[in-house]
Chain A
């Protein structure tokens, strides 16, 4: 079974600084998808970024980027120029590719605080 590990239960960052959230996963599959979701206190899960395992290029979405190391099974999220609105719980998630593979395996989450 796939597992996702987020080793940092809590982190904090100064406003305008950069922070990196860690995620490792375990799978025997060669093709899969990885996601970072953000859940602010308003509680809605928001998709931040996704990465297809077959793509070597790291995904980027504005201030959010990932460092995807397939061999090391590592998928970290970098947030640049942190803003107060970035404060939230961040979940790393894994999904097998292919039709019928619906399950998302989530990590336990990292609570990010942004200090003004």
Chain B
């Protein structure tokens, strides 16, 4: 089963709201990712967690705060967002972690469509 789930599917929030996006996988993958995707553009990497530790933060503004409570779950906490943060937020996972070999492909969830008003 190569399934990554994301909730909610759609989210509309004001600039003063606090909300969270949730991602879950039960494939035993050791690495999990958050991407931001604007319309008609490829995904842009935001964060990478490997073995539940933050490995990569691509200079993302602090209004985005990731959290990895356990190996299957990844959250993205949102606070004081701007209208330009409206986008599709994709979660992905891959089998590799530190010292991993093979199976480097990432499996993506269906995404959360975020609109900031």
Contacts and interface: CB of A to CB of B under 8 A. Distances in A.
B50 A43 contact: no
Interface residues of A, number: 23
Nearest to A100: B98
A50 B105 CA distance: 8
A100 B29 CA distance: 14
Chain B residues touching A, range:
20 to 34
A100 B110 contact: no
Contacts of A109: 40-42
B100 interface: yes
Interface string B93-111: 0101111110011111111
Interface string B6-31: 00000000000000000000000001
B55 interface: yes
A109 B43 CA distance: 10
Interface string A25-68: 00000000101010000111111001000000000000000000
B107 A47 contact: yes
Contacts of B113: 43
A97 B96 CA distance: 11
Interface in A94-116: 95, 97, 99-100, 102-104, 106-109
Interface of A: 33, 35, 37, 42-47, 50, 89, 91, 95, 97, 99-100, 102-104, 106-109
Interface of B: 2, 31, 33, 40-43, 45, 48, 50, 55-56, 88, 90, 92, 94, 96-101, 104-111, 113
